[in-house]
Each structure stands twice: as C-alpha cells, then as structure tokens.
Chains A and B, each alone.
Chain A
Amino acid sequence: MLVEKIMTSPCTTIRGDKSIEDALVLMTQKEIRHLPIVDEHDQLLGIISDRDIKMALPSILSDDDPNQSLSLSISKIMRRNVIRCHPLDFVEDIAIDFYEMSIGSIPVIRDNKVIGIVTQKDMLNTFLELTGVTMPGSIIEVHIDDKVGALHDITGIFKEQNIDILNVLAYTDQENINKRYLMLRIKSMNPEKIYQLLEEKEYHVIHPFGMKHD
C-alpha cells in the first residue's frame, strides 16, 4: 500500500511568521493535533504538535504571563529536521519511522511542497481496515500445516457454500514453525455449516476457549 492511499491531502498548514496563538486557534478549529509550518512557497520549515505548544507555555504554577508566550512566532518553538515522506513511499516503511522515532505524524512532500500528512491515527485505521473489521462478518480461525495448496483447499469450501470471504490473515505458530493460523473473516452470520465441513476434512478449527459448540 502506498502513502498516497492513506494520507490526508490537502492538509492544514501555517506560515512560519504566525504566532503560537494563531497555531493554537487553527488546531482547535480544525480539530487537529499536528501542524506543518511552511514558507510562502509551501516548503516545509518545521512541525509542531499540540504537546509542543503546551510544553512551550509557562506552567500554571509559574508567575510568567502566558499571553506573552502566545504572541511569540511559531518558528521559535517548531521542530526542525522533520521526518518526511513521499506519496509513493510504502506505508510499511513509514510505519517503521513512526515506531522507531516515536513521532505522531509525517508530512508528505512532493515537488518540495507539503501536499499532505499521515498521522498515527491514519496508520492505525489502515491496519484496522486490513483486518477487515469495518465490514460485518464472523471470524473463523483454522490451525493449518504450512504446505502448498492449504489455502486453496480451505477457500474451496467457502466457495461451495457460496459464502463471501471478506478478509484473510495468516500468521505463523510461534511454537511450531510448520504450522500457521489462518484467520478468515466471512460474510455470514451462520458459520455452523462451515465449521462442520472443515472438521469433516480434519482441519483444526479454533473455537472460543478451545471448546466445541454443539
């Protein structure tokens, strides 16, 4: 999957000569937590988050006047050396940036201009969509041998029953590398027949808490 599929574009930005207060008002208005800072050519100068602003303001316990801090230029507190990405980057790759750098957002740059932004929330939503959770379905989990054709045999049963498979996830059994777990999300409220057919073919279907439902 490519970044251009999941980014928010266009995205809200602010010019470097604006004040911290302007940034705060804009972020509240647009209900966003990350704001790229640009020059007059939309080139990226830096980025701030709502947390950066909170940290820049004097503590409620101090005697400093918060209004004075609010009128400072945003470029005073922004983070420079921002990690950036391109619309054709792989989502999997920027996921590693998010993880290793512990950052909340990554601006998307094309032709030296900020054209969009990807946030942690976008990343999580993308992952959730990959699991198929956005479509109503039942989940069937099968413990299978890691061999050629296993997926073909299993999905054949669903085809025979005319049941739509919404999503397939496969992951290795950590305790036995010759085995895999196959998680199928299917468009059916009534998977009993499928359970039965899988078991007839001696597939090991995982039931809730390993119990069998009769």
Chain B
Amino acid sequence: MTNVKYIYSEDLLRYRFSDSHPFNQMRLKLTTDLLMDLGVLTTQHILKPRVATDEELMLVHEPNYIEAIKKAGQGTLPESEYEKYGLASEDTPQFVNMHENSALVVGGTLTAVDAVMSGEVTCACHLGGGLHHGFKGKASGFCIYNDSAVAIQYIQSKYKQRVLYIDTDAHHGDGVQWSFYTNEDVMNYSIHETGRYLFPGTGALTERGDGKGFGTTVNVPLDAYTEDESYLDVFQETVEAVCESYKPDVILSVNGVDIHYLDPLTHLSCTLDTLYKIPYIVKDLADKYCDGKVIMIGGGGYNIWRVVPRAWSHVWFALNDLQTPHSPIPKSWIEKYQSQAPVPLPETWTDELDDYMEIPRQKEISEKNNNTKHRILEWFK
C-alpha cells in the first residue's frame, strides 16, 4: 500500500516535435530511472496514464481544434490551415500521431487527478504534464492540449471542488490564465520571469482576472536575474497568503524547472536549492489547507541532463516526505546515460556553480521584487 502515485509510461516520450526540438521528454525517463536506481520509486507506485477522451479535451478545447490536431497527426490537414491552429511555427510544428500522443499527456494528468480525488491516494504526480501554454483553439509555446486547464475544469465539473493552481514554471502560464480569467471558482497563481523579454510576454501584476473572476488570478512577475534568495522570499509569502485566503480543497501545481541558471531559455538564475524547496513548500500548503491533497505535474525544463532529473526527483521526495539523499547520484544511473549525454552527468546533488555568474544589479532587482511582493500581500490583508 502506498499513499502516493507516480504516473508514467514510456509512451509519454512520443510527445516529440522533432529530434532537435528543445522540448524533450527523455527527461521523464531520466528522472524515473534515477528515482528507481535510488530505490525510492518502485513499480507499485506507478500508474499508467490513460488517454483523455474527446469529451474531456472539450472541457477546454474547441471541437474544430481537436479535429484539426487529429488530421494534422495523420498528415491530412491542408497546410493552409496550419497557421490558424498554431502549427505553422517552429515552437509547435505538426508531428505524426500528435493527437494521440497529446491526449495521453492530458490523460496522465487526469489519471493523477482521479487517483487523488477518488480518495485512493492523498497525492500524485505526473511529470509528463504541465503544458500550460496551450490555448482553447490554438497550439502555442511547445503545448498542444493544455492538460493543466483540462484538469482544473475536470476537478470542477466532476468533483465540484475548489482548486488552487500554482505555477512555478519560469514562463507565465498564459493558456491556463485565459481559460479561467472570468471564473471565480479557480484560484490561478503564477510566479514567473517578467514578460519584458521572455515568452509569452504576459503575466503582469495588473492581470488579476475580469468580471466575477476579478481577484482570482494572481501574477507574480520577477525580474531577470532574480536568484534564490529573492525568489524564495517572494514565492513563500505570496503563495501562502493566496492559499490562506482562498482555502482550496485541492492544489494542482506545475513544476517547470526552467528557472535554473543553466536553463537555455530563461534568465531567473536560480540554483537547485530553490528548485528543491519549491515542491516542499507546496506540499506543506496542501498538508495545512487541503488535508494533503495535491497533484503535482511537470512543465518546462530544457537542460535535461544537468538540471531536470535532480530537480524533478525532489517533486517525488517532497510528496513522500523524503529528504535529499546523503549519498551521491547512483553510479548505475550515470553509467546508463553518460554515453548519450553531450555534457558530463552530475555526480552529486548540488550545483557545480563553475559557470555561475555574479549579478551586478542584484540589490535593485531584489528591491523591485520586494515591491511586487508587498503589492500582492496588500490584496490579501
């Protein structure tokens, strides 16, 4: 009997745009094998992801979009239609069986949701999920179907529960935000690098929801080069204030690990320390406010060798109340993958920091983030 489930199957690796595309689910296999080699994950923890049905996808997505993705995956969608559905871009190009493979990602997140909401387990994780940029009728930012948004709507429709969505990916969770912008029954919290330069460009402090949903969207934009101390300070205080005020029944969290300084796409400059702490902070909130009920899913993370496996291991550690191992990274894991990796695989659980750089304007950046924090805390007083 275990009280935590891990959703995984190698079929999830087929969500792949091309051999050279930065979104590479090989990171799921790397993380799963690392956890298995450590002996903290066994086959009895694992649930296979199911495929989301069309009706489930339609909780968020438009029927004609789903049809277009089906056709595109079979090569029968006219190329003139690609642009309309976001498939003409280098970010989300057409690939074979894209509907089936994307519906499996959504199904994985729903498998995790059902495991928790049915009461079978207290918490579950599906690191293959977290595709938070998908729009209801358009692919965007490496995302086809938005499993996070579908899961939120699914929890609302099927279980009638209040969800707190926590998104710590470096990018703003725009697809989820626009799905629930006027909805008062979802609290949508996203902490991310400001859109000043970074994709998708949204997620400003002033985006707070609209109509009845005003106040149920909270955006925490952080400056480039924020670093650990300021990140954790702002995150901890704001997320706790939101949780305390909203009193959710369950938490769904997106654990993108692209805030790391070695991530090629972003500039928040955090280290593994912060990435290790985030899932514990979220787990503690779930314990304190939701009887422990939490579903953790994946998200971005584009340094798949040196960052993602170590960071995502801690999602599993946090859910199981385990700490960072004292022993080094298992030799068996390094031996298995070193020949495929273009960089030396890490041998310990801490950052090497040899290519970490000093931030010249750190004091000002922290000050600005601190102002952002206080403005948000004001709303919840």
Contacts and interface: CB of A to CB of B under 8 A. Distances in A.
Interface string B196-222: 111111100000000000000000000
Interface in B122-163: 133, 140-142
A190 B22 contact: yes
A213 interface: yes
Contact of A161 (B90, B199, B361): B90
B91 interface: yes
Contact of B171 (A139, A185, A188, A189): A189
B201 A188 contact: no
A189 B200 CA distance: 7
B276 interface: no
Given A136-B174, A161-B90, A209-B361, A185 B201 contact: yes
Contact of B355 (A187, A189, A207, A214): A214
Of residues B140, B174, B355, which shows the largest number of chain A Cβ atoms within 10 Å of its Cβ? B140
Contacts of A32: none
Interface string A130-146: 00110011111100000
A139 B88 CA distance: 19
Given A188-B91, A189-B265, A214-B355, A136 B200 contact: yes
B196 A190 contact: no
Contacts of B314: none
Given A164-B88, A188-B90, A211-B225, A136 B199 contact: yes
B199 A209 contact: no
A190 B224 contact: no
Contact of A138 (B201, B264, B355, B359): B201
A107 B289 CA distance: 51
B199 A189 contact: yes
Nearest to A214: B355
A164 B201 contact: no
Interface in A45-63: none
Contacts of A138: 197-201
A137 B201 contact: yes
A192 B90 contact: no
Given A189-B91, A208-B197, A136 B141 contact: yes
Contact of B264 (A132, A188, A192, A208): A192
A162 B82 CA distance: 14
A197 interface: no
A164 B89 contact: yes
Interface of B: 22, 88-91, 133, 140-142, 171, 174, 195-202, 223-225, 264-265, 267, 355, 357, 359-361, 365
22 contacts: A136-B133, A136-B201, A138-B199, A138-B200, A138-B201, A139-B197, A163-B89, A163-B90, A164-B88, A187-B91, A188-B199, A189-B141, A190-B90, A192-B265, A208-B196, A208-B225, A209-B361, A209-B365, A211-B224, A211-B225, A211-B267, A211-B357
Of all A-B residue pairs in the complex, the 9 with the closest CB atoms, nearest first, are A136-B200, A208-B224, A189-B199, A138-B199, A189-B141, A139-B197, A189-B91, A136-B140, A187-B89
